[in-house]
Amino acid sequence: MRKLSYFILSGLLLAGMISCNNGSKGDKKKGALGSNAAEKVYVAPGEYDEYYAFVSGGFSGQLSVYGLPSGRLFKVIPVFSQDAEKAWGYNEETKPMLNTSHGFIPWDDSHHPDISQTNGVVDGRWVFINGNNTPRIAKIDLTTFETTEIIEIPNSAGNHSSSFVTENTEYVVAGTRFSVPIPQRDISIKEYKGNFKGTLSFISVDPEDGGMDLKFQIMMPGFDYDLAHPGRGASHGWFFFSTYNTEEASTLMEVNSSQNDKDFIAAVNWKKAEEYIKQGKGKMMPAKYAHNVYDEKTHMATSTMKDQVLMLDASELPELVYLLPTPKSPHGCDVDPTGEYIVGNGKLSANLTVHSFTKMLAAIEAEKFEGDAYGIPILSFEDVLAGVVEQAGLGPLHTEFDGKGNGYTTFFISSEVVKWKVGTWEVIDRAPCYYSVGHLMIPGGNSREPFGDYVLAMNKITKDRYLPTGPEVTQSAQLYDIRGDKMELLLDFPTVGEPHYAAGIRADIVMKNSKKIFKLEENEHPYAITNEGETKVTRNGNEVHIYMSTIRSHFNPDNIEGVKVGDKVYFHVTNLEQDYDVPHGISMIGANTSELLIMPGQTETFVWEPKQVGVWPFYCTDFCSALHQEMQGYVRVSPASSSIELSWSLGED
Partner 1 sequence: MKTTIKIVCLFSLILLVGCKDSEKQASDSTSTEATTTTTNTEKQGQAFLKDDEAKPTVLDIAIGSPDHTTLVAAVQAAELENVLVNTGPLMVFAPTNAAFDALPEGTVEDLLKPENKDRLAYILKHHVTPGNYAKDFIKKFPSLGQASNENIVVEVKGEDVYVGGAKILASVPAGNGIVHVVDAVILPKN
Kindly state the smallest distance separating residue 297's Cβ from partner 1, in Å: 48
Cβ proximity to partner 1, 148 vs 243, nearer residue: 243
Kindly state the smallest distance separating residue 434's Cβ from partner 1, in Å: 7
Kindly state the smallest distance separating residue 188's Cβ from partner 1, in Å: 22
| Contacts of residue 54, Cβ cutoff 8 Å, sequence gap at least 6 | 63, 64, 65, 113, 115, 127, 129, 140, 502, 503, 504
Could you please report the per-residue DSSP string of 584-647?
Answer: EEEEETT-SS--EEE-TT-EEEEEE---S-EEEEEE--S--STTGGG-EEEEEEE-TT--PPPE
Interacting residue ranges for partner 1, rule: CB under 8 A: 1-2, 5-6, 9, 12-13, 16-17, 19-28, 31-34, 252, 254-255, 258-259, 261, 328, 348-351, 391, 394-395, 412-415, 429, 432, 434-436, 460-461, 463-464, 486, 489
Say how many C-beta atoms besides its own lie within 10 A of residue 559's C-beta: 17
With beta carbons less than 8 A apart as the criterion, state whether 579 and 600 touch: yes
DSSP state of 159: B
Cβ proximity to partner 1, 391 vs 513, nearer residue: 391
**192-196 contacts: CB < 8 A, separation 24 or more?**
192/222, 192/248, 192/249, 192/250, 193/222, 193/248, 194/222, 194/248, 195/222, 196/222, 196/248, 196/250
Closest CA to 314 of 230, 247, 375: 375
CA dist., res. 123 & res. 119, Å (int): 9
Kindly state the smallest distance separating residue 471's Cβ from partner 1, in Å: 10
Say how many C-beta atoms besides its own lie within 10 A of residue 84's C-beta: 13
Kindly state the smallest distance separating residue 438's Cβ from partner 1, in Å: 11
Pairing of strands 476-481, 488-494: antiparallel
Kindly state the smallest distance separating residue 12's Cβ from partner 1, in Å: 7
Kindly state the smallest distance separating residue 17's Cβ from partner 1, in Å: 7
Cβ proximity to partner 1, 245 vs 349, nearer residue: 349
**Sign, CA torsion 387/393/397/401:** negative
CA dist., res. 488 & res. 503, Å (int): 20
Cβ proximity to partner 1, 386 vs 491, nearer residue: 491
DSSP state of 133: T
Closest CA to 229 of 563, 501, 499, 575: 501
Cβ proximity to partner 1, 312 vs 440, nearer residue: 440
With beta carbons less than 8 A apart as the criterion, state whether 409 and 422 touch: no
Cβ proximity to partner 1, 6 vs 48, nearer residue: 6
Q: Phi and psi of 43, rounded to 5°?
A: -115, 115
Cβ proximity to partner 1, 31 vs 194, nearer residue: 31
Cβ proximity to partner 1, 131 vs 395, nearer residue: 395
Kindly state the smallest distance separating residue 86's Cβ from partner 1, in Å: 33
- At residue 77, the 3 state secondary structure works out as strand
Which helix (H) or strand (E) segment holds residue 194: the answer is helix 192-195
Kindly state the smallest distance separating residue 28's Cβ from partner 1, in Å: 5
Cβ proximity to partner 1, 2 vs 278, nearer residue: 2
CA dist., res. 131 & res. 105, Å (int): 11
Kindly state the smallest distance separating residue 231's Cβ from partner 1, in Å: 28
Kindly state the smallest distance separating residue 23's Cβ from partner 1, in Å: 3
Cβ proximity to partner 1, 35 vs 184, nearer residue: 35
Query: What does the buried/exposed string (b/e) look like for 64-74 if buried means 16 or more CB atoms within 10 Å of the residue's CB?
Result: bbbbbbbbebe
Q: Is 252 exposed, middle or buried (0-12, 13-18, 19+ CB in 10 A)?
A: exposed
Q: Phi and psi of 276, rounded to 5°?
A: -60, -40
Closest CA to 231 of 333, 122, 144: 333
Q: Give the up-direction half-sphere exposure of residue 382: CA atoms within 13 A in the CB hemisphere.
A: 2
Kindly state the smallest distance separating residue 435's Cβ from partner 1, in Å: 5
Cβ proximity to partner 1, 33 vs 646, nearer residue: 33
Cβ proximity to partner 1, 256 vs 531, nearer residue: 256
Kindly state the smallest distance separating residue 542's Cβ from partner 1, in Å: 55
Cβ proximity to partner 1, 261 vs 307, nearer residue: 261
With beta carbons less than 8 A apart as the criterion, state whether 89 and 470 touch: no
